[in-house]
C-alpha cells in the first residue's frame, strides 16, 4: 500500500506528465518533475489513470499487470488516458484546468477459481476490480466503477463481460474471471488537493 504522501506524488506525476506532453510533445525527464518519488515508484505495479471533466469520464487507460515500474506505468498511462483513449478526442491543453486526475494502484490480479454460480459471492463491491478473459477478449473495470454506478456483484460481472466485448452472461458460461484491489488517489478539484478515496 502507498502512503498518502506517495499517493499525492503519484497524482502530481500523472498531471505533470500530461502537461509536459501536451505542451512539449514529450514526457518529463527524471529530474524535472520536481516531485519527490520514494522507492515504491521503482517497483513494478499495475496502475490506471482516470481523467474526469465536470464529473464525466474524459479518459481512462492503464497497465492491468505489474509489467513496468510504477513511475513508468504512471507516465505512460497518464499520457495515454489524455491522448489515446479511443472513446474520446485527445485532451486539449486548455482543458487541463477543468480536468480532475485520479490514479488507481492495482494489486496483482488473481483468478477466482470457483464454479460460475459462486462468482458473485466472491466479488466484494467497493473492494474488488474485475478482469474477464475469453480467447482474445479481455475487459477490466476498476473497483470504484461498481459503487459509483450502484452495481451489485452480478451487474458488475455482466458489465465487465460487456467491456470485454462478450455477452453479459459470459461469466456464467466459462469466461475466466480475475479480481484485484485498487488504492485510489484523486484530486478534490482540478490541480487541487489529493485525497485517498475509499468506498
3-state helix, strand, coil in the chain (%, to 5): 35, 30, 40
Fold match between domain 4-106 and domain 110-180: no
Closest Cα to residue 17, out of 98, 121, 111, 103?
103
Statement: 4-106 belongs to CATH 3.40.50.11540:
no
CA distance to 62, 108, 112, per residue, from 122 (Å): 24, 16, 7
Output Rg (C-alpha) for the chain, integer angstroms: 17
Burial 63-76 (b: 16+ CB within 10 A, else e): bbebebbbbbbbbb
Q: Name residues whose C-beta falls within 8 Å of residue 52's C-beta, 6 or more positions apart in sequence.
A: 58, 99, 100, 102
Note the pTM of the prediction, 2 decimals: 0.94
In order along its 199 residues, the chain shows pLDDT tens digits of 999 999 999 999 999 999 999 999 998 876 677 888 999 999 999 999 999 999 999 999 999 999 999 999 999 999 999 999 999 999 999 999 999 999 999 999 999 999 999 999 999 999 999 999 999 999 999 999 999 999 999 999 999 999 999 999 999 999 999 999 999 999 999 999 999 998 8
Q: What H or E segment, with its residue span, contains residue 184? A: strand 176-187
Q: Do residues 24 and 49 lie in contact, with contact meaning Cβ atoms separated by under 8 Å?
A: no
- Listed in order, strand segments (DSSP E) in the chain are 46-53, 56-63, 99-106, 110-111, 128-134, 137-141, 176-187, 194-197
**Domain segments of the chain as ranges:** 4-106, 110-180
Whether domain 110-180 has CATH 3.30.565.10:
no
The span from the CA of 40 to the CA of 174, in Å, is 37
Amino acid at each position: 500500500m502507498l502512503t498518502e504522501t506517495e499517493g499525492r506524488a503519484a497524482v502530481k506525476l500523472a498531471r505533470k506528465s500530461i502537461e509536459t506532453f501536451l505542451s512539449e510533445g514529450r514526457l518529463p525527464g527524471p529530474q524535472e518533475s520536481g516531485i519527490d518519488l520514494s522507492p515504491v515508484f521503482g517497483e513494478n505495479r499495475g496502475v490506471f489513470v482516470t481523467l474526469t471533466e465536470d464529473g464525466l469520464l474524459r479518459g481512462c487507460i492503464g497497465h492491468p499487470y505489474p509489467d513496468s515500474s510504477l513511475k513508468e506505468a504512471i507516465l505512460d498511462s497518464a499520457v495515454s488516458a489524455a491522448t489515446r483513449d479511443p472513446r474520446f478526442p485527445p485532451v486539449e491543453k486548455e482543458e487541463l484546468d477543468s480536468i480532475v486526475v485520479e490514479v488507481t494502484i492495482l494489486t496483482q490480479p488473481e483468478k477466482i477459481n470457483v464454479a460460475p454460480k459462486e462468482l458473485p459471492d466472491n466479488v466484494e463491491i467497493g473492494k474488488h476490480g474485475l478482469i474477464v478473459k475469453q480467447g482474445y477478449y479481455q475487459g477490466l473495470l476498476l473497483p470504484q466503477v461498481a459503487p459509483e454506478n450502484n452495481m451489485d456483484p452480478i451487474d458488475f460481472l455482466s458489465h465487465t463481460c460487456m467491456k470485454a466485448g462478450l455477452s453479459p452472461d459470459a461469466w456464467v458460461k466459462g469466461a475466466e474471471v480475475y479480481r484485484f484491489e485498487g488504492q485510489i488517489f484523486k484530486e478534490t478539484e482540478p490541480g487541487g488537493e489529493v485525497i485517498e478515496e475509499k468506498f
